[in-house]
Amino acid sequence: MMLSLPSKYRKPLIQSQRKPLIGLLIMTAMLSAGCNNNQEQSANDAATSNIAQSDSTAINAPVDSKSDATIVSALQSNLKASGIDETITSAVPTAMPGIYWVSADGLPSFFTDAEGKHIIQGQIIQVGDGEPIDISAKLIAQSAKEKLAAVDEKDMVIFPAKGQTKGVVYAFTDADCGYCRKLHQDIDETNNLGIEVRYLAWPRSEETFPKMEAIWCSEDRQSALTAAKAGANITAANCPNPVQSEWQLGMSLGVRGTPAIFDQNGQQIGGYLPPEQMAAALGIS
């Protein structure tokens, strides 16, 4: 089942004749325990977990950070010629000759060739120099870091650390997800370990969009979120809210289920993580 925006947020295809590229992209695997839109774990987890992605390898992969305007233009033109209307924002050279890492508004990043003729999604693994290296890891993390840092704190539901803040995580969450509820049941213990949790809205279905909007429109978002995760029906007057934009942000970062937890460096460190494991992932002893 492909995730999509609720109908009230979508442009009518009859009017625009717009073919969304996201419908052609392959869904990527979730990390660790979490709820996806089908309440099932991706079978790809086991396969992807065998690829080394440590900071000492993937983060140091040689990459030119400058976007190539020629590739952006060529890809944009080729997409348009195929009836696909998406805004390409950058095409960055990777460690693999002739292969570029592409970012686009509201879409997961993907690879393309030097002519912008092919869309390639998935991992490209560099071998032969010791540990296998995922050459896209640095680019993915840097993009996520910048996008998450750009979210205004007033648009999140923040549970601050108790005492000294030793680490910060961003958690895309849904009101009805069982693993999200389990994560929130641990929130006091997590905060006591010095971890600040910054929740972003990521409803997994059209039915949960109104629930998440009601939480974000509540006068006391913390209490509303806690009550919703305990099964309460939250109501609130409609208001301007960031639920749609945060859902789109999650999609652009490859989120396919909840919770999806990122650190401040843009690394996705897991789905549900018990407090001690989260602290370990953040390097907190």
State the catalytic residues: 174, 177, 180, 204
Q: Using CA atoms, how far apart are residues 50 and 132, in angstroms rounded to an integer?
A: 10
Residue 247 contacts by C-beta under 8 Å, 6 or more apart in sequence? Answer: 5, 201, 202, 203, 209
Q: What distance in Å separates the CA atoms of residue 168 and residue 283, rounded to the nearest whole number? A: 11
Q: Measure Cα distances from 252 to 106, 107, 108, 231, 279 in Å.
A: 5, 4, 4, 29, 26
Diameter over CA atoms, the chain: 59
Phi-psi region of 32 (alpha: psi -120 to 50; beta: other; left: phi over 0): left
CA distance 132 to 21: 30
For the CA atoms of 53, 26, 269, 54, what is the dihedral angle to 10 degrees?
A: 0
Residues with Cβ within 8 Å of residue 14, at least 6 apart in sequence: none
- C-alpha 31/C-alpha 50 separation (Å) is 13
The β-bridge partners of 270 are: 261
C-alpha of 261 from chain center: 8
For residue 147, how far is the Cα from the chain centroid? 10
